[in-house]
Amino acid sequence: MTSQPTPGQTVGPFFHYSLPYDDGPELVGPYDARAVTLHGYLYDGHGDPVPDGLIEIWQVGEAGTVVQETGSLRRDHRTFTGFGRAQTDADGHFRFFTVIPGIDPKRPDVAPFIAVVVLARGLLDKLHTRIYLPGYADLNAADPLLTSLDPAERDTLTATEDGEGSLRHDLRLQGENETVFLAFG
């Protein structure tokens, strides 16, 4: 028995009292020795920043395997749960503190990535994308999704290092260098 899915709707402008929460962007504490900064800007089709966006990330830990620990909403600053949520600020900027996802020991030929959902006022339904890591150049070069894209599209899915322990990844909803968004199945 199959049912039609409930359609999505925009997150609207007034989610800030409900969805963002303390430590939401901190998958690990900012002073954790393992911490890397993952940050970027969310842009609209004019290249203007989107100040009322919400970015969620979901990833494996350093061991490369899926984590099923609770505590994403009330962090104890020790448990890595793999989930993070950040709102964009007035400049359209978002920032997470996390770890680099590791290679799954059972699937050493699969390029690790961070799964992303993008939400914003004006965006009528959620968007999925991925962030691949610059440190996995060899695996990325063989990844089925990345290799199916032209180089400019591929760049929209790969973070760049912009300092020690810092990765930058901008998201563009529309226009030049529009981020590649994903549909599954």
Partner 1 sequence: MDDELATQSQITAEIRAAHADYAAGREAGAPAETRTRTDFPPYRSSVLRHPTKDPRHVDPEIIELWSPAFGHSDVAPIEADLTAQHTGEPLGERIVVTGKLLDGEGRPVRRQLIELWQANAGGRYIHKRDRHPAPLDPNFTGTGRLITDDDGTYRFTTIKPGAYPWKNHDNAWRPAHIHFSVFGDSFTQRLITQMYFPGDPLFPLDPIYNSMVDDAARERLVAAYDHDLTSPEWSLGYRWDIVLTGSKATWFERSGEE
Please identify which residue in 23, 63, 145, 177 interacts with partner 1, judged by CB under 8 A.
145
Please identify which residue in 22, 33, 68, 138 interacts with partner 1, judged by CB under 8 A.
68
- Looking from the CA of 70 toward its CB, the CA atoms found within 13 Å total 0
Interface of this chain with partner 1, residues 19 to 48, rule: CB under 8 A: 19, 44-46, 48
For the chain, give the number of residues: 185
Q: Would you say 35 or 67 has its CB closer to partner 1?
A: 67
Q: Would you say 125 or 162 has its CB closer to partner 1?
A: 125
Q: Would you say 102 or 135 has its CB closer to partner 1?
A: 102
Q: Give min distance, CB of 164 to partner 1, in A.
A: 26
Q: Give min distance, CB of 34 to partner 1, in A.
A: 18
Closest CA to 100 of 148, 137, 73, 64: 64
Q: Is the distance from CB of 24 to CB of 85 less than 8 angstroms?
A: yes
Beta carbons within 8 Å of 48's beta carbon, 6+ residues apart: 92
Rounded Cα–Cα distance for residues 112 and 140 (Å) = 8
State the Cα angle at 43 between 42 and 49, rounded to 5°.
Answer: 90
Interface of this chain with partner 1, residues 94 to 133, rule: CB under 8 A: 101, 104, 107, 110, 113, 115, 117, 119-128
Q: Give min distance, CB of 68 to partner 1, in A.
A: 4
